[in-house]
Amino acid sequence: MTITGLQLAVLGGVVLGAGVALVVWRLLPARPDLGDVLGRLSPDTDGHSGRGPDVGDGSAADRIGRWGVRALPGSIWGKPLDQELALLRIPLTRFYGEKLLFALLGTAAAPLLSLLLMLLGWRLPVLLPVGGTLLLAVGLFFLPDYNVRDDAKRARTEFARALGAYTDLVALERNSGSGPRQAMEVAAAVGDNWVFRRLREELAYSSWSGEQPWDALRRLSYELGVTELADLADIMRLSGEEGAQIYGQLRARSAAMRTAMLNDEVALSNAVGEKMSIPMSLLGVIFLVILVTPALLRVMVP
């Protein structure tokens, strides 16, 4: 691959400019994110972190993420995904490490592809690999954000499904004469999936710390971004603090949750059906063209 003088000058300017920018960036006073700094300095009074588990597993991504947290400014990580990480129980350092690893992969992909094409005899302008490297690095850097949001969306749907069953179980326990805390703990002990395990952990922690169980559920709803859990906590607060009869409210709440989930499923199926109508219509058009083409050819061809 032949590099002209102009391309060499542009490449040298890019490298020099990047070096100067890095030097200036390291010499300028740091401007840390205020929320991130206060989050690190404040004691964890409730024993839970709003950003998910901070204890990594010692993997390569976790170690790279720890280095990134110490060396890089907080503003480069993009929009915080505290609730999503807490819901998926992904340590913050592992998440940051995955972002850096994906960016490194994008940085190395374009030069390797350019080298392969050069070995095959293709001649590419030098600006094309440079631009491809930047685009891939930035794009892959934010790919874990999309993955976390997508996984968290599915996890919230599963959480809402399990919470409907949990609400019914709490209603049955309250109807049988159990107290608010006992009803919540017994109902959480019935299931064995991750939602019920999470509820058991929060209720057990609230029992050890002297916190009211509905306060624990409300805090968990804020931490995970699950609004249905906050509604359940409000209903249980009425029972625990005011002694209200909540069996009917709990059953009505669980029925409303199931109706909402059913409506979402119907809307999703309708959207899928609309998407399927497009290829079916195209298939009908193609079949019609196949039928009409011989007759048109007999008429048009003498």
Instruction: Report how far residue 221's alpha carbon sits from residue 234's, in angstroms, rounded to the nearest whole number.
Output: 11
Cβ–Cβ under 8 Å, residues 89 and 52: yes
Instruction: Report how far residue 249's alpha carbon sits from residue 231's, in angstroms, rounded to the nearest whole number.
Output: 11
Give the tokens for residue 30: 């740091």
Four-residue CA torsion sign, 83, 89, 93, 98: negative
Confidence at residue 87, expressed as pLDDT on a 0 to 100 scale = 92
Chain segment 181-223, per-residue pLDDT in tens: 899 999 999 888 899 999 999 999 999 998 899 999 999 999 9
Cβ–Cβ under 8 Å, residues 226 and 157: no
DSSP assigned state of 126: T
Give every residue of the chain whose pLDDT is below 70, as ranges: 1-58, 124, 126, 242-244, 301-302
What residue ranges in the chain does DSSP mark as E strands? none
Confidence at residue 47, expressed as pLDDT on a 0 to 100 scale = 39
Confidence at residue 301, expressed as pLDDT on a 0 to 100 scale = 65
Confidence at residue 215, expressed as pLDDT on a 0 to 100 scale = 92
Cβ–Cβ under 8 Å, residues 215 and 233: yes
Chain segment 66-92, per-residue pLDDT in tens: 888 888 877 788 888 889 999 999 999
Confidence at residue 95, expressed as pLDDT on a 0 to 100 scale = 93
Q: Is 146 exposed, middle or buried (0-12, 13-18, 19+ CB in 10 A)?
A: exposed
Confidence at residue 266, expressed as pLDDT on a 0 to 100 scale = 84
State the Cα torsion 236-241-246-250 to the nearest 10°. Answer: -10
Confidence at residue 51, expressed as pLDDT on a 0 to 100 scale = 39
Four-residue CA torsion sign, 164, 168, 173, 179: positive
Confidence at residue 203, expressed as pLDDT on a 0 to 100 scale = 93
